[in-house]
Amino acid sequence: MRHSAPPRTASLSGKTLRLRRIFSAPTGRALIVPIDHSVTVGPLGRKNHADWTAAMLAEAGADALVVHKGRARHIDPAHFRELSLIVHLSAGTSLSVDTTSKVLVGSVEEAMALGADAVSIHVNIGSPTEAQQLNDLGVVSDECARLGIPLLAMMYNRGMAETPGTQSVATLSHLAAIATDLGADIVKLDYAGDRASMDAVADSCPLPIVVAGGAYHDDESAIEFGTRVAESSVAGLSFGRHVFGARNPARVAAALAHVLHTGDPARPLENFGSRTGL
């Protein structure tokens, strides 16, 4: 099962306070919604879509929003009274010759100047530029440790022939180990396919794990998938396209937040506050 967080020493107090803000629900779980995709694929909506999405997520009970630094400047800061801000520091585009390449496009200090509660970085293991992406993860991790801000590592397998969105326990555990060893505080992974497999991944990792949503199909499928993932020993969901691409984003976000924060009434979820130590 999940392990305790590191001791709350003075050097970790900044991270501890910010992690508590993200994982603030009584369950210690979090619904994180990334909308950093616009660098990769283009606009996600009208020019005010980020501000609208932040307002909607705050109302729906989501816990954090992931955006790039420039997009964050187009969101009313009032939305972050209850919603945490995570600034994404790496990027790549679908127009690139190598769509798996990611480069740093921001710094931890820039994110903190925007009021961020955490930063995130995307790492594609198996990419031709894997070495540089691992180096970037280490550099950002050092900055985060120095400044006391949590790091969310979005770890993906891009080198082995496995079904996207459903990776083996061994592969996911390896990705989680990389994030842990290089200093991340939260790790985002694909789903392992079933509860027992995802529990095995969580049992191998001392970090809170949030599960990626993957491709959107329809609202009901998004809610059903989130509910199924929530039955495993993970600390939350990181669903982007399942939310901003939904026909009714507010309904999907509220449903996902509800299942994470209250659990299934027929089978109450374990209290993750004690498990993450947050």
The residues, any chain, with a CB within 8 Å of residue 180's CB and separated by 6 or more, are 187, 205, 206, 207
Report which of 252, 250, 174, 186 is spatially closest to residue 213, judged by C-alpha positions.
252
Cβ atoms of 184 and 153 closer than 8 Å: yes
Q: How many angstroms separate the Cα of 269 from the Cα of each of 107, 205, 207, 254?
A: 37, 20, 19, 17
- Residue 191 annotated to the active site: no
**Which one of the listed residues 15, 69, 102, 188 is annotated catalytic?**
188
H or E element in which residue 118 lies: strand 118-125
- Residue 188 annotated to the active site: yes
Report which of 23, 36, 30, 45 is spatially closest to residue 249, judged by C-alpha positions.
45
Q: Which residue has the tokens 């985002």?
A: 188
**Which one of the listed residues 69, 156, 191, 216 is annotated catalytic?**
156
Give exposure, 41-72, as e/b (b: 16+ Cβ within 10 Å).
eeebeeeebbeebbbbbbebbbbbbbbbbebb
**Half-sphere exposure of 227 toward its Cβ, with a 13 Å CA cutoff?**
15
Catalytic residues: 156, 188
